[in-house]
Amino acid sequence: MGQNIRRWGDGHMSLEEKILQSVEQLPPFPMVIQRAIQMVEDPKSSVQELVDVIQYDQSLTLDVLKLCNSAYFGLRREVKSLREALVMIGFNQLLEIILSRQSAKFFRDPCKGYDLQQGGLWRHSVACALLTRIISKRLNRESTPTHFTAALLHDIGKMVLSKFVNDYSDEIKKVVKNHNLSFIEAEKQILGIDHAELGGKVANKWNFPNMIVSAIRYHHTPFLVPEYYEVVQLIYLCDFVALMNGIGGGTDGLIYRAYGMDMMKQYDLKEKDIELFMIQLDDRFELVDDVLKGN
C-alpha cells in the first residue's frame, strides 16, 4: 500500500508530480529584495546603488522609513529619505527586518500537517534567522543577510507540503513507528519528496543564490551537502537550538536524526552555550516582536 501511496495520487498524475505542481501556486518572492540581497553581498556595491534598487518599490520604501522612525531604533531625529535611513541604520540590519516582515505572508497560515497553529512556522523561521547572528558571533564568524535569509526560509517547503502531510499523516506516522525512520525520511517514502528537498526547489524557483538553495535543501542532512558546508551547518544549528527552545517544533520536531550533539562537539559548544543562545534569542525576540508584527 505504501508503494501505491508514494507513487500515485488521483487520476494519472503521481503524488510527487501533484506536490511539485503546487509549488507553482506560491506567490513570487519580491524581486527587489532578491536583488538587494545580491547587492549587499557584493563588496563593490555602494549605498546609492542599494537606494536605487529599493526606491522603485514605493511600499517597501515607506516600510523602511516607518521602521527607521519606530521606537525600536530610537533615533533622535526623523529619517526622511531612504539614503539617510540606510546610512543611519546599516543595510544589513534593516534588510533583515524587512525580510522578516515580507516573509510573513508565506508563513502566516496554519501548518496543519505539522500541527502548527497560525504564525507558528513563521515564529520558528524568524527565531532561526535571529540565531544566525547569535551563533555566528559565538563561532567568531561574520553573519550576513544570506545566512539570515537561508534560515528564515529553511522550512518554506513545509508550507507547500503541509496539505499532503496532513492527508497522509496516518501513513507517515506508521512508517516512523514501524520502520524507525525520521519524520523527513517517512515524508520521502510516502510522498516521494520531503519538505527540505521541496524547499530547495522553491528557493530555486525564486532564483535565490545557490548557497541559500543548498542551505534549505540540506538543513536536516548537513553532512550530505556537496558545498557551502559551513553555512548549511549553521542553519542546522539554528534549527536545532530553536527546536530545543520549543519554538515551532510541531508534530515532526522531535522525530529527526539528531546530529546536533555531533556539531556541538565539532564547534566545541557546551550546554551553557545553548542556554546562553536561548536567553539571547528571547531578548532579541522581545525587541523585534512589535516591529515584525507591523506595529
Q: Walk me through the domains of the chain, giving residue ranges and CATH numbers.
A: 2-7+104-293 (1.10.3210.10)
Separation CA 220–CA 196 (nearest Å): 7
3-state class (DSSP) for residue 230: helix
pLDDT: is 172 or 11 the higher one? Answer: 172
3-state class (DSSP) for residue 111: strand
- CA 203 to the chain's CA centroid: 11
151-210 confidence digits (pLDDT tens): 999 999 999 999 999 999 999 989 988 988 888 899 999 999 999 999 999 999 998 989
Closest-CA residue to 269 (of 148, 136, 144): 136
How would residue 287 be classed by pLDDT, with cut points 50, 70 and 90?
low
- pLDDT for the residue numbered 135: 95
Q: Which of 27-36, 168-177, 219-228 has the lowest mean pLDDT?
A: 27-36
Tell me: pLDDT of 30 over 80.
yes
- pLDDT for the residue numbered 290: 62
- pLDDT for the residue numbered 236: 92
Q: In degrees, to the nearest 5, what angle opens at C-alpha 137 toward C-alphas 232 and 245?
A: 70
Mean pLDDT of 51-72: 82
